[in-house]
Amino acid sequence: MNSKATAAKKRAPTGKSKPQNSNRIMKGRDILVRALEDAGVEVIFGYPGGASMEIHQGLTLSKKIRMVLPRHEQGGAFAAGGYARSTGKVGVCLATSGPGAVNLLTGIIDAKMDSIPLVAITGQVPSTVLGTDAFQETDIIGATFPLVKHSYLVSDIRDIPKVVQEAFVIAATGRPGPVLIDLPKNIQQQETVPDFNVKFDCPSYKPNLQPSSMQIKKAVHAIKEAKRPLIYAGGGIISSHASKELRAFVKKTGIPITTTVMGLGAYPSEDPLSLRMLGMHGAVYANIAINNADLVIALGVRFDDRVTGKLSEFCKDAKFIHVDIDPSEINKNIIVDIPIQGDVKRALKMMGDLAEPKKDMKPWLDQVKAWKQEFPLKYELNPKAIVPQHVISELNKLAEKNAVVSVGVGQHQMWAAQYWNFDEPFNWLCSSGLGAMGFGLPGAMGAQVAHPNRQVINIEGDGSFLMNIQELQTLKIENIPVKNVVLNNAHLGMVAQWEDRFYKSLRGHTFLGDAHFAEIAHAFGIKSESISKPEEVVPALKRMLKHKGPYVLDVKYPYNDKSMGHVMPMIPANHSYLDTILDAKQNLREYWKKKGVLPQ
């Protein structure tokens, strides 16, 4: 592995270094590189082209920044996202103008949806020909306007240090997100004596971090009065580094907790008070519990439709406390009783200092425990075919405790969320809000570059893997030892599942056909194998994890029927938790009617 990233880890945090001025004349490209170094950048994922090659020339001369060449700009953007998701630092990607810049869009909006700090740098045609439809000219500022927190088109070489500093501060603070820097080629080539002693001064950007003490006191009072409280925690816990405060708050109060898919790792999955993940494919008991709570403590969440289902039916009898750094999220989807705008880390510390242990919750905790026992996450083994959930469960047992898990999007993603036990934050990389297929491999690549000595595993479906399969060459050439497990059922599994459930199994172009991923990986020079029998699963996983370099394990299994091939449980879109599909035969409403819990 390149030593630059390792050596840079002890540098000052991103955006916090104190640069020393240079009295020599420098090109714009070199000023940019120096400013990135001063911002603490360790690695950039970038693909060169005519409008960005000057920047690549400058990066080649850098002794502090590692340059990783993805095989597609989308792969580079996702890799930067994986780097950021696994470290909490700002990820950086680089592309040329026109098609190169446009290929970053999916990774940029992925970062926006999931509040991931990202700086995307694009080369641009010379400013002298902007607006003339010059070769590979694209208005990337206009194209990304709704996708970013902020964007810069640099028109003066002297502005580069200030623009870079501002970009990193804005990306990482408040609600994190992507920032774009568009740098025309003539500005890259111009020369000046730069001033690196810039001070962040952006009066219009002042995110409020401090929660209202009055609102905190109201929240603590509501918690004291509640008989059936539940914590609903999301990605805001991860991005604000508030996992420690969350755990202390849960330990002190004894309140059970469920998380969104973005919040996995914020609280240990196997803790007795954990209800794991809630939502469309979440644990049945988590969805039952939150809809029977009298107080929902929402921390760093946005009440996404994949969690709430039909809004009018979601937690109808509960009061809501909502803590969020972004004031626009409060009262956006759910009208809350106690809004708290500010940093969730600070809010949890303040609530934890004032809150008292809950001593009147035994009936509630007993009920939650009973639901957990009645509706466990489960699957059935098949003696004749590999069961994908079993692959993930066994891999979870064999992997290192602090392994980083990246996923694509589809059935495999939800099975990984259901059956992997997450203990710590920043170990789960998932395109959640955007749901972008093709994220898994480059996301894992970015995480492995950030953590060269840790185990990084990419769990993919065949459809998702195919979308950025070219990054296998990056793994090989850069010696990035990501372990790839491809759950290969020859279908777009999640879409086919919806076809089975809601379209009478009419296949609308969801059959992909058989792909031999082990052979493809071998062609890239990567160690690989293919398995299709249940008894091959554990030995193959052990061989993969033992291997020192990158690896592809092609796991072939049939897409067969509703009980074996579907992600269960499932709440149909815009339905309530009572409509949860438990298995091929019944839903929760029907089950409870038979049990006498609900009237016939």
Q: Which of 57, 136, 367, 455 is catalytic?
A: 136
Among 158, 192, 226, identify where a domain stops. 192
In this structure, the answer to whether residues 240 and 174 fall within a common structural domain is no
* Predicted local confidence at residue 22, as pLDDT: 63
> Residue 399 maps to which CATH number?
3.40.50.970
Q: Which of 414, 445, 467, 494 is catalytic?
A: 494
Cα-based angle 50, 56, 57 (whole degrees, multiple of 5)? 100
Is there a catalytic annotation at residue 494?
A: yes
Assign 461 to helix, strand or coil: strand
Query: What is the DSSP secondary-structure string of 254-285?
Result: ---EEE-STTTTSS-TTSTTEEEE-STTS-HH
* Predicted local confidence at residue 562, as pLDDT: 61
Number of domains observed in the structure of the chain: 3
Q: Which residues contact 134 (CB under 8 A, 6 or more apart)?
A: 125, 126
Q: Say if 588 falls within a structural domain.
A: no
Q: Say if 205 falls within a structural domain.
A: no
In this structure, the answer to whether residues 166 and 262 fall within a common structural domain is no
Among 352, 374, 396, identify where a domain stops. 374
In this structure, the answer to whether residues 397 and 500 fall within a common structural domain is yes
Look up residue 63 and give its two tokens. Answer: 């002794």
Q: Which of 27, 89, 112, 185 is catalytic?
A: 185
> Residue 228 maps to which CATH number?
3.40.50.1220
Q: Say if 164 falls within a structural domain.
A: yes
Give yes or no for a cis peptide into 376 (omega within 30° of 0): no
Q: Which of 16, 135, 542, 594 is catalytic?
A: 135
Specify whether the CB–CB gap between 94 and 101 falls below 8 A.
no
In this structure, the answer to whether residues 150 and 76 fall within a common structural domain is yes
Please give the mean pLDDT across all residues of the chain. Answer: 94
φ, ψ at 323 (rounded to 5°): -105, 125
In this structure, the answer to whether residues 180 and 259 fall within a common structural domain is no
* Predicted local confidence at residue 330, as pLDDT: 97
In this structure, the answer to whether residues 398 and 336 fall within a common structural domain is no
Assign 106 to helix, strand or coil: helix
Instruction: For the chain, report the end-to-end CA distance as a whole number of angstroms.
Output: 64
In this structure, the answer to whether residues 141 and 222 fall within a common structural domain is no
Segment holding 37, helix H or strand E: helix 28-38
Look up residue 37 and give its two tokens. Answer: 């170094």
CA-to-CA distance for 239 and 209, rounded, in angstroms? 13
Nearest to 275 by CA among 231, 312, 243, 316: 231
Name the pairing type of β-strands 191-192 and 26-27: antiparallel
Is there a catalytic annotation at residue 562?
A: no
For the beta sheet containing 551-556, the strands, ordered from the edge strand earlier in sequence to the opposite edge, are 428-429, 404-407, 456-461, 483-488, 551-556, 527-531
- pLDDT(563) > 70: no
Q: Say if 129 falls within a structural domain.
A: yes
- pLDDT(120) > 50: yes
- pLDDT per position as a tens digit, 478-534: 999 999 999 999 999 999 999 999 999 999 999 999 999 999 999 999 999 999 999
In this structure, the answer to whether residues 344 and 438 fall within a common structural domain is no
Specify whether the CB–CB gap between 93 and 65 falls below 8 A.
no
pLDDT band at 111 (very low <50, low <70, confident <90, very high): very high
- pLDDT per position as a tens digit, 152-162: 999 999 999 99
Q: Say if 66 falls within a structural domain.
A: yes
Q: Which of 37, 54, 73, 166 is catalytic?
A: 73
In this structure, the answer to whether residues 162 and 29 fall within a common structural domain is yes
Q: Say if 202 falls within a structural domain.
A: no
In this structure, the answer to whether residues 462 and 542 fall within a common structural domain is yes
Q: Say if 546 falls within a structural domain.
A: yes
Tally DSSP H helices, then E strands, for the chain.
26, 20
- The residues with which 232 forms a beta bridge, in sequence order, are 258, 298
CA-to-CA distance for 183 and 127, rounded, in angstroms? 9
Is there a catalytic annotation at residue 73?
A: yes
For the entire predicted model, the pTM comes to 0.94
In this structure, the answer to whether residues 14 and 132 fall within a common structural domain is yes
**Taking residues 414-421, what's their average pLDDT?**
98
In this structure, the answer to whether residues 237 and 265 fall within a common structural domain is yes
Look up residue 71 and give its two tokens. Answer: 């095989």
Specify whether the CB–CB gap between 485 and 553 falls below 8 A.
yes
Q: How many CA atoms lie within 13 A of 555 on its CB side?
A: 30
CA-to-CA distance for 230 and 273, rounded, in angstroms? 10
- pLDDT per position as a tens digit, 425-481: 999 999 999 999 999 999 999 999 999 999 999 999 999 999 999 999 999 999 999
Q: Say if 448 falls within a structural domain.
A: yes
- pLDDT(98) > 50: yes
Look up residue 579 and give its two tokens. Answer: 């409509």
Range of the domain at 65: 3-192
